[in-house]
Amino acid sequence: MRRLPLAALPLILIACSADNATGQNAATPAPKPFATATIADFDSPWAMTFLPDGRALVTEKKGEMILFDPKNGTKIPVAGIPAVDSAGQGALMDVVLSPNFARDKAVYFSFSEAREGVKGVALAKGMFAQASDGTTSLTKVQTLFRATPYVEGNGHYSGRIAFSPDGKYLFFTNGERQKFDPAQDPKSTLGKVLRLNLDGTPAAGNPLAAKGFNPAIWSYGHRNLLGIAFDGEGRLWEQEMGPKGGDEVNLIKPGLNYGYPKVSNGSHYDGRDIPDHAPSDGFEAPKVSWNPVISPGGLLYYSGNLFPAWKGSLFIGGLSSKALVRVRLDGESAAKADQWDMGARIRDVDHGPDGALWLLEDGADGSQGRLLKLTPAK
């Protein structure tokens, strides 16, 4: 195991420019309203989740899962992870605890894999176990669900996981794999939000099954869905990377078509136009969109108490924008609030047991792959 001495983890107060959501005031930089501490360094981390005892599970792109203790910096590899195809945008992706973790010790995770010359995203589950000597593993690992179909290429897997507030259902995102049309294909799960039972089977009563759609589909017409979260009132929010321009935050409702690639607030990378969302076009428009893009990574609904003014906000990790982005929610409405320059690609956002914000950078070990902890500025 590798230990990071706490003495080597200094608290860094950052007081540099922070463009607001409209890009104004760039000439009059203001201090960030939080202090940033570097807690650890990982090799291209992708996602994290906290255990009840304050330790965290962290996934790395190459296919490693790490049990990390923020109190002493201890890192323990978690055995039992299936083979991961990490080429391109492939990775060991999301990791989320079962709603019944205290009882069943189940950990759900997603990963990209290669099978018979094609690739896709899979959802799996294993039981968290730690032996008396400290070695840690996921046991009884089983793959619960695979995207349909697997295709060639290394992009837009998505793979985000969220449980319904009642703990009965699992929502899983499948990207359109840079193939465009599958997002509108009723038989394909690509470019969709899916609603599954906890065993990975399609949930009964999904809104489009009676119309001939794949029975797992909850909503469709999406691109690369890299964040999904329920708010305090049980609404489901999703963010996705748009094409050239047009990154989105969507309020996900059952059975709706969010338009991609038929409509978008962006354009194709080769310059071809995509019609913008328009009233009465039959597609659900985003609640917030960005052009220029922020390249959204992870998505968090903040319910902590450490930043009371931000309670009930969405937080987004910005990749190409190297930013932490806050979106203000008001019922079914959303609006841009803050955008802070973090100086590195931000892959994921979470909050800890004390309400602190935790960010994972997107880079390699030793080069902006850090785990950062944000607390209120003094």
Q: How many CB atoms lie within 10 A of CB 108?
A: 23
Q: How many CB atoms lie within 10 A of CB 271?
A: 7
* Catalytic machinery residues: 156
End-to-end CA distance of the chain: 35
Q: How many CB atoms lie within 10 A of CB 176?
A: 29
User: Phi and psi for 124 in degrees, rounded to 5?
Assistant: -135, 165
Cα-based distances in Å from 310 to 41, 87, 135, 232, 315:
27, 37, 38, 13, 9
CA nearest 61: which of 84, 38, 95, 79? 84
The token duo for 31 is 């201090």
CA nearest 75: which of 83, 65, 67, 87? 67
CA nearest 339: which of 287, 296, 375? 296
Q: What is the DSSP letter of 20?
A: B
Q: Could you tell me if 192 and 217 are in contact, meaning their C-beta atoms sit under 8 angstroms apart?
A: yes
Q: Could you tell me if 242 and 223 are in contact, meaning their C-beta atoms sit under 8 angstroms apart?
A: yes
d(CA 313, CA 315): 6
Q: DSSP per residue over 258-313, as a string?
A: --TTT--SSB-TTS---PPP-TTSSSPPPSEEESS---EEEEEE---SSSGGGTT-
Q: Helix, strand or coil for residue 53?
A: coil
Encoded amino acid at 346, one letter: I
